[in-house]
Amino acid sequence: MTDSEASAALHLLLVEDDDGDAVLVEELLHDAGIDTDVTRAWSLEAALDALVMPVDCILLDLGLPDASGLDALLQLRSASSAAVVVLTGLDDADRGLEAVGAGADDYLVKGTVGGEALGRALRYAVERRRGDHEKRNEEERRAHVEAVSSLASALRPSPRLSGAPVRVLVRSNDGGPLSPHLCDVVERPDGSVLSVTGTAAGSGPAAAALAVNVRAAFRALALSELPVPEVLTVLDRLAAAHEGVVNAVVVELAPGSREAVCHLAGHHAPLLLSADAVPLSAAGDRGAPLGAGPGARPVVRTHLRAQDRLLVLHTAVLDQAANAAPEGSSLGTVLEAASRGTGDDAALADTVERAVRAYGPDGQVELTLLGWTPA
């Protein structure tokens, strides 16, 4: 209990039809030294009406004129989350135990309880009820977090590969279901593989919804036999229909030719990770983003050897790298070293991820490594 809760008056609803017993209870409360705000109800009906006001604890006599047995307890428990302490007569103590089993927090036997015991019972009942309420709230919050996490996983599925000789490593810490980032890797019916990486312009639910819609449409289109330029045309129309813009890059891997074809739609080209290869670059600009309508979308081609990989990062990260100061340990320095690197995929991804977290524009990470599986 906080200091403010301890100093606040206890809102008590006394449900008692006997005037003498009601006076006795109020005297015991005075003797207990509890600061109480007592509302008296002579019947169950009056008690239910009184619950429109805030109540911390209900002190309930089971012998009411308009309720029999445990009916009053059950109705009050259903109508209120307040603590309930039941009052029973000397010859009816067993009903107190039944009441606790039916949902009461405690019971007291009239004529055998003093002010100190009454005060202690009320305080304990209120604290137990508050503890139960906080526990339920925590369980609800945990269930909500789990539901959101499940939603995020469903909206961002794992790469769909069945037989293509392509190795893929995806790392994602992109802000959850309200992230504007999108990423997917899909094997096509002809055995080629398409990868998309992109970011919807803006932030919040609208950008996240656009990213999810474009990603879902990409997966469906990737499983069709449409040529990649036509896939981009459909995605462009989808983004425009949502009055949004998405900067994206689609990488097409053709196992037969060992060629990687990168289609730029307002996005940087991927980084080629190879000890002796030059960085990939487009002849012109990055092209028209999705949602901007028809426009030039440059195509960059490269031959991937067995030891080579493509590193696909969001444009915002690569923009940050381009603007980084040359001295010191900048994101640009790490990515430049990565572009010349070979070796274990996971170790390389760890290095890039740490750099993006430390130097990237928002600390969020989503990267994809693409290459061929060993022969």
Co-location of 303 and 262 in the same domain: yes
Residue 367 confidence class, pLDDT cut points 50, 70, 90: confident
Domain that holds residue 13: 3-147
Same domain, 269 and 243: yes
Note whether 175 and 137 are same-domain residues: no
Are the CB atoms for 85 and 100 separated by under 8 Å? no
Q: Dump strand ranges (E) for 137-277.
A: 166-173, 181-187, 193-200, 246-254, 259-265, 271-273
Q: In whole angstroms, give the CA distance from residue 359 to residue 355.
A: 6
For 258, list phi and psi in degrees, rounded to 5.
60, 30
Considering 147, 166, 192, which residue would you say is the last residue of a domain?
Answer: 147
Average of per-residue pLDDT across 231-250: 95
H-state helical runs in 33-114? 44-50, 71-79, 93-101
**Whether pLDDT at 374 is above 90:** no
Give burial (CB, 10 Å; 0-12/13-18/19+) of 153: exposed
- 334, 352 Cβ separation under 8 angstroms: yes
> What's the CA gap between 178 and 41, in Å, rounded?
50
Question: Which of the listed residues 94, 115, 147 is the one where a domain comes to its end?
Answer: 147
In-domain check, residue 363: yes
Contact 311, 369 (CB under 8 A): yes
Contact residues for 368 (Cβ-Cβ < 8 A; gap 6+):
168, 169, 170, 171, 183, 185, 195, 197, 311, 312
What does the alpha-carbon distance between residue 292 and residue 199 come to, in Å, rounded to a whole number? 14
Higher pLDDT: 96 or 214? It is 214
| pLDDT for 277 | 54
Q: What's the rounded mean pLDDT across residues 253-257?
A: 89
Residue 230 predicted with pLDDT over 60: yes
Q: Is the pLDDT of residue 171 over 90?
A: no
Q: What is the distance between the alpha carbons of residues 321 and 311, in angstroms, rounded to a whole number? A: 14
Q: 232 and 188, same structural domain?
A: yes
Tell me whether residue 90 is in a domain. Answer: yes
pLDDT tens for residues 23-41? 988 888 888 888 888 999 9
The enclosing domain of 258 has a CATH number of 3.60.40.10
Closest among 327, 363, 349 to 271, alpha carbons compared: 349
Of 175 and 203, more confident: 203
285 within 8 A of 300, measured Cβ to Cβ: no
* 176 and 123 share one domain: no
**The two structure tokens encoding residue 270:** 């991927």
Q: Are strands 181-187 and 166-173 parallel, antiparallel or unpaired?
A: unpaired
Same domain, 126 and 183: no
> What average pLDDT does the chain have?
83
62 token code pair:
């089971």
CB 55 within 8 A of CB 29: no
Mean pLDDT of 190-219: 91
- Write down how long the chain is: 375
Are 191 and 335 members of one domain? Answer: yes
Residue 132 lies in a domain: yes
pTM above 0.95, yes or no: no
| Rounded distance between C-alpha atoms, residue 235 and residue 218, angstroms | 7
| Residue 152 within a domain | no
Q: Are residues 127 and 165 in the same domain?
A: no
CATH assignment at residue 93: 3.40.50.2300
In this structure, the answer to whether residues 206 and 100 fall within a common structural domain is no
Q: Which position has the token pair 């028809």? A: 294
| b/e per residue 182-198 (b: at least 16 CB within 10 A) | bbbbbbbeeebbbbbbb
What is the reported pLDDT for 194? 95
**Domain count of the fold of the chain:** 2
Cα separation, 86 vs 107, in Å, equals 4
Alpha helix (H) residue ranges in 167-287: 204-222, 228-241
Whether residue 337 sits in one domain with residue 244: yes
250 by DSSP, 3-state: which? Answer: strand
Range of lowest pLDDT (37-41, 292-296, 297-301, 353-357)? 353-357
Instruction: Identify whether 207 is part of a domain.
Output: yes
Amino acid occupying residue 200: A
Whether 180 and 81 map to the same domain: the answer is no
Structure tokens at 177: 């279901």
The pLDDT of residue 341 is 58
Strand partners, 265: 248
Q: Are residues 106 and 168 in the same domain?
A: no
Is there a domain that residue 224 lies in? yes
pLDDT, mean of residues 324-348: 62
Q: CA-CA distance, 284 to 154, in Å (whole number)?
A: 37
* Final residue belonging to a domain, choices 147, 181, 215: 147
**For residue 271, pLDDT beyond 90:** no
Query: How far from the centroid of its chain's Cα atoms is residue 109's Cα?
Result: 49
